[in-house]
Amino acid sequence: MNERGSNKPHFTRKVPPDDTMERAVCVTCGFVDYQNPKIVVGSVVTWGEKILLCKRAIEPRRGYWTLPAGYLELHETAEAGAAREAREEACAEIEIERLLAVYSVPRISQVQLMFRARLARPEIAAGPESEAVGLFGWEDIPWADLAFPSVNWALRHYRETKGVADFAPFSNPVDGL
């Protein structure tokens, strides 16, 4: 039992020994509860000249268009997670080509790994987290209704690499696109 008469851990904020950041530390046993960013994985998925977009059926940004993406699960590779998200959101089987970009979103403690991918076959359908899915030509993308800035970034970075086999992964644009 801790000093409060409970078996429930009691945490205080302090800098643990051999660390430089303030963390939540159990006052009874010294356990450090590390809080780290979430990793999001997703893809710019194409079929010919068209790009797969999903209309969100969940918050945040319900009703807005996004790329198939979501949180990486424990014991999952980034590529497997991106493929799983495409299956969950668009009932799509994809083939990952390569890493397109790594975006840092410190405001919400996320790191986003975005891949270039293509549909293995053109069958798509809305999964439980999507109101609708569609294949869009560049000029038909609903730019004003994109859910997140990183969707815009990934689409533009994809466009910059179209037809290019070898490139360094992109990061957050400095101009905010």
Encode pLDDT of 74-110 as tens digits: 999 999 999 999 999 999 999 999 999 999 999 999 9
- Model confidence at 177, pLDDT cuts 50, 70, 90, reads very low
Residue 68 is given by DSSP the state S
Cα dihedral 53, 160, 113, 38 sign = negative
- Model confidence at 152, pLDDT cuts 50, 70, 90, reads very high
- CATH code, residues 38-161: 3.90.79.10
Residue 81 is given by DSSP the state H
CATH 2.20.70 residue window(s) in the chain: 1-35
- Whole-number mean pLDDT of the chain? 94
Encode pLDDT of 46-70 as tens digits: 999 999 999 999 999 999 999 999 9
50: burial class by Cβ within 10 Å (0-12, 13-18, 19+)? Answer: middle
Per the CB < 8 A criterion, the answer to whether 66 and 147 are in contact is yes
pLDDT of residue 175: 74
Per the CB < 8 A criterion, the answer to whether 65 and 89 are in contact is no
- CATH code, residues 1-35: 2.20.70
79-118 burial: b if 16+ Cβ within 10 Å, else e:
bebbbbbbebbbebebebbebbbebebeeeebbbbbbbbe
CATH 3.90.79.10 residue window(s) in the chain: 38-161
Q: How far apart are CA 151 and CA 55, in angstroms?
A: 12
pLDDT of residue 9: 78
| pTM, rounded to two decimals | 0.88
- Model confidence at 8, pLDDT cuts 50, 70, 90, reads confident
Cα dihedral 164, 170, 175, 177 sign = positive
Tell me how far CA of residue 124 lies from CA of 82, 89, 115, 132, 154, in angstroms: 16, 9, 18, 10, 21
Range from 2-6, 37-41, 95-99 carrying the lowest mean pLDDT: 2-6
Q: What backbone phi and psi angles, to 5 degrees, belong to 108? A: -120, 15
